[in-house]
Chain A
Amino acid sequence: MTLNNLLSGNNIRFLPVAIAFVALIMIGNPSIWVTLTVAGLAMGMMIFLMASGLSLIFGLMDVMNFSHSAFVAFGAFIAASVLGRLSGWNESDSVLLNMLALFSALGAAMVFGMIAGWFFEKVIIKPVYQDHLRQILITVGALIVSEQLILVIWGGVPINVARPQFLQSSFIIGDISIEIYRVFAVFLGTAAFIVLHLTLNRTRIGLLVRAGVENREMVEALGFKVERLFIGVFVVGSGLAALGGAMWAGYETLITPEIGAHMMISIFVVVIIGGLGSIEGSLLGALILGLVGNYMAFLFPKMALATNMLVMIVILMWRPYGLRPMVKS
C-alpha cells in the first residue's frame, strides 16, 4: 500500500492525526508535545473560523474577497474594545460575569462582521460579480481603506486585550500545563464546524449552497436565486471571520493594526490547500497549518516563518486542487 493509497479518500481526514503522531516521535517529550498540540489545535480552529467563510464565498460565486482579513482585524479590535469597557465584569471572580463579558465581546465582533459583510457585499462586491480582475482590484482597495480606518479609530499603537478571569489560568495535569483559553478556542471552533456541517448537510439551504458551489447556473435553472443565497453566505462568512479575529485577539493578548495582514496569508493558504468551497477542507487545512506551525516553531525555529509556504507547496504538489476539492461540473 503506497502512501498515496493510505491517504486517499476519507483517510485524508486523519492527516492531522498522522502529523501529530510523527511530531510526537520527533519531539520525544510528551508534555511538550501536548502543549504544542493543544496550541496548534487552538490556532487551527481560529484560522478555520476565519477561512471557512472565504472558502464558501469563493466556491459559491467565484468571488474572491482580498479584504476578507479586514473582517478579522475589525473583529479583533472590537472585541478588545468591548473587553476593555467591560473590565469590571471581566476581572470579576464570578464566572458568570466573565462569560457575559466574553460573549458580549465575541457577539459584538460577530454582529459587526455580519453587518459589515452585508454592506460590503451590496456595495463593493455586487457591482463586480463575474469580473475577477476588478474584484481583486476593488477588494485590494477596500483592504487598504479598512486598514486605514482601523488606524483612524484605534490609532497605530498595539492594544492590550484583557482575557476574562476564568480563561486566564491553565489546567495542570502532572507536568503538563494546558491554557484554558486554548481549550476554549478548540471548543468554539468545533462547535462552529458542527453547526456549519449540519446546516450544509441537513437543511435545504445547505443543499442549495452545496449544489450552488458545484454549478450555480444549474441551480438557477432549477428555479432558485443564487445571489440571495450568496448574500447569506457572505454575511455568515464575514461574521465568522470577525469571530475568529476576536478569538485571536484574546489568544495573542496584544494586537496591532497589522493583525489582518498577518492572518491574510494563513487564511489564503488554508483556503487553497483545503480546496475552494469545502468546509471539511478548510478545517483540515487549518488544523494542519496550526499543528505544523507549532511543531516547526519548536523543532526548527528558523524555518517557522516559512511554514505556511512549505505546507502549501507540499500539499499542492501532492494534490493540485487541494485536500477536499469540490466537484465542479
Chain B
Amino acid sequence: MRQDILTLDNVCADIAQYHILHDINLNIPKGGVHVLLGRNGAGKTTTLRTIMGVLHAHSGSIKFDGQDITKYHSSDIAQMGVAYVPENMGIFGGLTVEENLRLAANKGKFDPVRLKRIYTLFPAIEKFWDKAAWSLSGGQKQMLAIARAIIEPRKLILIDEPTKGLAPSIIDNMIEAFHEFAKETTILLVEQNFHFASSLGETVNVVEDGKIIHSGDMKEFAQDKDLQTRLLSLSLDQHQ
C-alpha cells in the first residue's frame, strides 16, 4: 500500500458567507498525477486554495506529508515543499520572466541542472528570459507558471486547469512534460479537459457541490461512459 502524501478529512470551507466546501475527503497517494474533476462551481479551485492555505478550512483537517497543515499560513505550506499554479497562473506581469522564476528559486539562486531542464521543456522561457512577463502569450505564461512550480524540487504541485485556453498542440507538449515531472513529484491537477486528464491521471476524484462524490482509478473511470455521464452530467468526450 502506497503512503498518502496528502489527506483531507471532512474539510469544510466558506467564502464570505457562502459554504463552498461541505465535506471534502481526499487521499492523494505519493507520486504520479491525480485529477480532480467536476463541473464549474463544484468547488475544485476552492479545494486547491484551501490545501494551499490561501483559504482556511473552518472544520476538518488537512494533512500533508504527515503534518497537520490545516491552520498553516500559505507561505509556510509553500516552504514545506508545496507549489501552486493558480487558474489565472499568478504571473507577475510587471516582472521579467527571469524575475518571476527567481522569486520561486530558493534564496534567489537557480539550480543550473533544473534550469537547463526547464529550458529544454519550455524553450520560450529561455528565449524571453529578459522580457516583461505581461508580453508573453497565454501558453507561454502557463509554461512560466509551471516552470516556477518546478524550479525547485517540490513534494506536491497543485495545478489548476493548466490547459485552459491552450491550443491542442501545446496541450500535447504539456502532457509529455507532466509525465516527466510525475516521475519525481506528486501532482494534484484540476482539469476540465478530459483528454488531458485521462492521459495523465492515475486516480480521479469527482467533486460536486463541495463534496467528493467519486474516487477511483482513472483508467476504469475513463472507460465507464455511464459513470461519467451520471457524475458529470455530460459526457466529457464532448469537452475535447
**Chain B residues within CB distance 8 Å of chain A:** 52, 54, 73-75, 78-79, 84, 86, 88, 90-95, 99, 102-104, 108, 134, 148
Report how many A-B pairs have Cβ atoms within 8 Å: 63
Taking CB atoms, residues of chain A closer than 8 Å to B94 are 210, 213-214, 326-327
Q: How far is the CA of A326 from the CA of B93 in the complex (A)?
A: 9
Q: How far is the CA of A225 from the CA of B76 in the complex (A)?
A: 8
Taking CB atoms, residues of chain A closer than 8 Å to B86 are 218, 221
Q: Are B93 and A327 in contact (CB under 8 A)?
A: yes
Q: Are A223 and B92 in contact (CB under 8 A)?
A: no
Taking CB atoms, residues of chain A closer than 8 Å to B99 are 207, 211
Q: How far is the CA of A329 from the CA of B73 in the complex (A)?
A: 21
Known: A204-B108, A207-B103, A221-B78. A214 touches B54 (CB 8 A): no
Q: How far is the CA of A204 from the CA of B99 in the complex (A)?
A: 10
Q: Are B95 and A211 in contact (CB under 8 A)?
A: yes
> Size of chain A's interface in residues, with CB distance under 8 A?
21
Min CB–CB distance A32 → chain B (angstroms): 41
**Chain A residues within CB distance 8 Å of chain B:** 204, 207-208, 210-211, 213-215, 217-226, 326-327, 329
Known: A204-B108, A207-B99, A327-B134. A221 touches B90 (CB 8 A): yes
Question: Which one of A204, A215, A224 contacts B92 once the chains associate, using CB atoms below 8 Å?
Answer: A215
Q: How far is the CA of A210 from the CA of B104 in the complex (A)?
A: 14
Among A208, A218, A327, max chain B CB count under 10 A is at A218
Min CB–CB distance B112 → chain A (angstroms): 19
Going nearest first, the 4 A-B pairs with the smallest beta carbon separation are: A223-B78, A218-B90, A327-B93, A327-B94
Q: How far is the CA of A226 from the CA of B73 in the complex (A)?
A: 11
Min CB–CB distance A59 → chain B (angstroms): 11
Q: Are B93 and A329 in contact (CB under 8 A)?
A: yes
Taking CB atoms, residues of chain A closer than 8 Å to B102 are 207
Taking CB atoms, residues of chain B closer than 8 Å to A204 are 108
Q: Are A224 and B54 in contact (CB under 8 A)?
A: no
Q: Are B78 and A214 in contact (CB under 8 A)?
A: no
